[in-house]
Copies of this chain bind each other. A is one copy, B any other.
Amino acid sequence: MISMAFLSDLFSVLGTVAFALSAVLAARGRQVDLFTILVLATVTAVGGGTIRDTLLDVPIFWAEDTSYLWIAAVSALLGFCFYSLLDRHGINLLYQAVDSVAIALFGVLGTTKAWELGFGLPLGPVILGVITATGGGVIRDTLLQRPSMLLGKELYIVPVALGCTLHATVLALAPDHAQLGALLAIALVLVLRYLSVMRHWVVPQWAVLKMK
């Protein structure tokens, strides 16, 4: 049977690659150079986990294992080289897909790590999951002076928060099925992101702020 530790490492590597590529794609339409992209890719890939580890007061994961930095750099370099193969429409959809995979994986990873350390149970792990998933992207968007995805009309924060809540619920009520819970949580994030990007699902009207 696949161990949780192996799954966790696999998710970390895949999420790092996805976030680094998302940073290359986020720079579309801008005059940016390779070095800027390397900075953005690294910030996006490790930013959320860095905030998480700081709040948990544990050693920063990329100092413990610098391979995450290399994975982010090489992914960004490859993304840079093959960037010109993409056209404008394809690039937008690819960006959404790659970013969605990254936030799903990092959300589950952040929730797991905080849960294992007993950080502010039961709500703390959900919040750290959301921070791990979105923190790097928020820093990237702030540096690029782009509006944060957090505040867009698309469903972005909602899928991540629901996925992390599902995973935390399984960890609380049925810890023996943590692996299954993690996979279901990732699937939930991806499905909701798909519905938002492809089917244009938005937040229901009753939940939108209105003033008389």
Contact = CB atoms under 8 A, between A and B. Distances in A.
Copies in the complex: 3
A177 interface: no
A207 interface: yes
Q: Using C-beta atoms within 8 Å of the partner chain, give the interface range for chain A.
A: 35 or more
A32 interface: yes
Interface in A67-108: 69-70, 80, 83-88, 91
A84 B210 CA distance: 6
Given A31-B153, A153-B31, A209 B80 contact: yes
Interface of A: 24, 27-28, 30-37, 39, 42, 50, 54-55, 57, 59-60, 62-64, 66, 69-70, 80, 83-88, 91, 119-124, 127, 138, 142-145, 147-148, 150-151, 153, 157-158, 161, 203, 207-212
**Among all A-B residue pairs, the 4 with the closest Cβ atoms:** A63-B120, A34-B207, A33-B203, A33-B207
